[in-house]
Amino acid sequence: MTSSVRRGDILDALGRAIISGKLRPGESLTLDDIQSQHDISRTLARDCVRTLESVGLVESRRRVGAVVRPPADWAALSPLVIRWQLDADPEGPKFGALTELRAAVEPVAAAAAARRATEAQRLELLRLANTIREQGSTGSVASYLDADIAFHSLVLTASQNDTFAALTEVVAEVLSGRARLVGAPWQSPKPQALELHVRLAEAIAAGRVEQAEQHMREIVAEVREVLLDRGLRGFLAT
């Protein structure tokens, strides 16, 4: 096992322990605790603590250690925090909250992409949309998901708005969260959802701003309906 993989495994274990409530706000972890529990060097233990601190999960205090902070202090848009939250409670309110974020941002980003995308980006969106339709139709969930993440990330980037582009990892974690829902309806994407991606790519490629915005709104709305049908908790019911 490489050092980077080892670090990732330990960081995931610590992050999930905090977010799941196994380690509660106010509890502390020392470097000695982390070293002994995971059989790692002090340097690696300190590195993990620094990462947890950078996303608001802990606060380092002299002679106390790393003190767990309350959820209100966590970095809500950190891809790490999002992944751990969806791992801990895949059908919980975070999925709903992030879907609302997508509904607020992605349609506007799609409209901006229709205005500003480069020619290469427009062509790549068309290619990815067709891959999504092909892979989704054949039931290749892993390939479909990879293409879907690349597609939505590129729409954000093609908007040429750096604040939208900064959300690419966030959206990737949300889309990956689908796989955490065992037996989810989108394991076999609906044909209309696949076709919407093609229509969206065509609208962006042709510079049709209003259509691009509307098609992305329909894509996110379809996800919202699936979540509601499944009874997921969150901020989606009203």
Tell me the two tokens of residue 112.
Answer: 């901006």
Nearest Cα to Cα of residue 94 among 109, 112, 81: 81
Candidate from 8-22, 73-87, 123-137, 166-180 with smallest mean pLDDT: 166-180
| Predicted confidence (pLDDT) at residue 182 exceeds the cutoff of 50 | no
Q: Among 213, 210, 218, 168, which residue's Cα sits nearest to residue 190?
A: 218
pLDDT single digits (tens) 185-196: 445 678 888 999
Scanning the structure block, which residue is given the tokens 């990737």? 172
pTM of this structure: 0.89
> Per CATH, which fold does 3-73 belong to?
Arc Repressor Mutant, subunit A (1.10.10)
**Residue from 152, 111, 110, 108 nearest 129 by CA:** 152
Domain ranges of the chain: 3-73, 85-230
Per residue in 27-49, pLDDT (tens digit) is 999 999 999 999 999 999 999 99
- Averaged pLDDT score across all residues of the chain: 90
Least reliable range by pLDDT among 9-13, 106-110, 136-140, 187-191: 187-191
Looking at domain 85-230, which of 2.40.110.10, 1.20.1250.20, 1.20.120.530, 2.60.130.10 is its CATH number? Answer: 1.20.120.530
